[in-house]
Amino acid sequence: MTTTDDTRLDVRTDATAGSRIVHAEARLCDIPVETERTDALQTFVKQETILVRIRTADGAEGVGYSYTIGTGGAAVLSLLRETLLPALIGLEAERPEAVWLSLFGITRATTVGPITALALAAIDTAVWDAKTMRAGLPLWVAAGGASPSVPMYDTEGGWLHYRTDELVEHAVAAKERGMGGVKIKVGMPRGHQDLDRLRAVRDAVGPDLDIMVDANQSFSVSEAVRRAHLFEQVDVFWFEEPLPAEDIEGHRLLARSTSVPIAVGESMYSLGHFREHLQRGGASIVQADVARVGGITPWLKIAHLAESFNAKVAPHFLMELHVSLVCAIPNALYLEHIPQLRAVTTGELRIENGRGWAPTAPGLGIPWDDRALDRLIVA
Ligand SMILES: [Mg+2]
Name the residue ranges covered by the structural domains of the chain.
4-135, 141-368
The whole model's pTM is what? Answer: 0.95
Q: Do domains 4-135 and 141-368 have the same CATH topology?
A: no
Q: What is the pLDDT of residue 269?
A: 96
Please report, as a single letter, which amino acid is at residue 373: L
Q: What is the pLDDT of residue 13?
A: 63
CA of 145 to the centre of ligand 1 (A): 26
Q: What is the pLDDT of residue 8?
A: 45
**Superfamily of 4-135 according to CATH:** Enolase-like, N-terminal domain (3.30.390.10)
* 185 is a catalytic site residue: yes
DSSP class of residue 206 equals -
CA 159 to chain centre: 19
> E-strand spans in the chain?
21-31, 47-56, 61-68, 149-154, 181-185, 210-214, 238-240, 262-264, 285-286, 312-313, 335-337, 350-352, 355-357
Q: Which residues of 109-132 are buried (b: 16+ CB within 10 A; e: fewer)?
A: eebbebbbbbbbbbbbbbbbbbbb
CA of 268 to the centre of ligand 1 (A): 12
Cα distance between residue 263 and residue 212, in whole Å: 10
CA of 265 to the centre of ligand 1 (A): 8
CA of 85 to the centre of ligand 1 (A): 31
Bond before 112 cis per omega within 30 degrees = yes
Catalytic hit among 131, 175, 185, 277: 185
Q: What is the pLDDT of residue 111?
A: 87
How do residues 110-120 score in pLDDT, each as one tens digit? Answer: 988 999 999 99
Q: What is the pLDDT of residue 1?
A: 37
Residues lining ion ligand 1 (Cβ < 5 A) are 214
Sign of torsion over alpha carbons 323, 125, 16, 22: positive
Q: Which residues of the chain have pLDDT under 70?
A: 1-14
CATH class assigned to 141-368: alpha beta
